Structure 1
Amino acid sequence: MANPYHDYNLALLAHLRGILLAMGETEQVSEESHALFLERFDELIMTLRNVPEERHMGQDMICQVFHRYPQIAHLVPRDLLWYFGGDCLHFMPDEEIELFQRLEERRYEAEENDEPFDWNMERQLMTMPEDGPRH
């Protein structure tokens, strides 16, 4: 059964992989170490495609991105920090965690009511200024 939320996060992982690949091309990192890290990152993506519940490996990989590649930390999609949770949440301020908690509650509510839920769209709506236009 397709899970749009899971698919959305897989797409974000693919995006992050592209950023990591570009890091290797800039020669700012050790080529051998970087190649091994990308192999493990690819394993994570393949594992999550087949067994979505296997998120523990993702926590470790995302935390390693912050430690190994601090120059791209600002490019790591915030949604991945929330998706993997655990130690990844240490890289999020409390206000952001509260936003994602509200978003998660809305997602569960939609699932319980068999309603469609677009994580990305809902997130954009929740981060719009209160006095801004909403459709």
Structure 2
Amino acid sequence: MANAYHDYNLALLAHLRGILLAMGENEQVSEESHAMFLERFDELVMNLREVPEERHLGQDMICQVFHRYPQIAHLVPRDLLWFFGGDCLHFMPDEEIAIFQALEERRYEAEQNDEPFDWNHEKQLLTMPAEGARH
């Protein structure tokens, strides 16, 4: 059963795949190992489309992105780190984890009340500076 949150993260994976593909096209990585990595990445996405609960498979893949391609670590959507969890959380500071935890709690509450939930909008609300901090 797919939902908006799952679809959002699949879109982020597609975005990340585009970045990885560009790296190969720009000959910034070993072609053979890069091609095999992209195949595994595509398998992950297909598995997630069919069985959304199988997120643990993505933990290793996202961690490998950080280790294999450190030059693009800053381009990896932070939401994917939270989505996959586990070892991926080692790449997030505690403050960021706290924000995502609050987001997850809001999402859960909205689901329990059969209310719509816009992950991006809620994230923007949580990361906005406090009213008193504006100058």
Q: TM-score, normalised by structure 2?
A: 0.95
Matched, 1:98 2:98: yes
Unmatched tracts of structure 1, length 5 or more: none
Per the TM alignment, residue 130 of structure 1 is displaced from its structure 2 partner at its CA by 1.3
In structure 2, C-alpha distance between the alignment counterparts of 1:76 and 1:59, rounded to whole Å: 13
**Alignment map for 1:5-16 (pairs within 5 Å):** 5-16=5-16
Quote the residue 1:65 is aligned against.
Answer: 65
Unmatched tracts of structure 2, length 5 or more: none
**Alignment map for 1:31-50 (pairs within 5 Å):** 31-50=31-50
Amino acid at match of 2:129: P
Matched, 1:77 2:62: no
In structure 2, C-alpha distance between the alignment counterparts of 1:32 and 1:120, rounded to whole Å: 36
CA deviation map 1:48-102 (0-9, x unaligned): 0000011111000000000000000000000000000000000000000000000
Taking only aligned residues, the RMSD between alpha carbons, in angstroms, comes to 1.0
Aligned pair count reads 132
Amino acid at match of 2:30: S
In structure 2, C-alpha distance between the alignment counterparts of 1:99 and 1:80, rounded to whole Å: 14
In structure 1, C-alpha distance between the alignment counterparts of 2:44 and 2:13, rounded to whole Å: 9
Matched residue SS, 2:54: coil
Per the TM alignment, residue 28 of structure 1 is displaced from its structure 2 partner at its CA by 1.2
Per the TM alignment, residue 36 of structure 1 is displaced from its structure 2 partner at its CA by 0.2
In structure 1, C-alpha distance between the alignment counterparts of 2:88 and 2:75, rounded to whole Å: 14
In structure 2, C-alpha distance between the alignment counterparts of 1:120 and 1:94, rounded to whole Å: 20
In structure 2, C-alpha distance between the alignment counterparts of 1:17 and 1:78, rounded to whole Å: 15
In structure 2, C-alpha distance between the alignment counterparts of 1:120 and 1:64, rounded to whole Å: 26
Matched residue SS, 1:124: helix
Q: TM-score, normalised by structure 1?
A: 0.95
Matched residue SS, 2:131: coil
Quote the residue 2:129 is aligned against.
Answer: 129
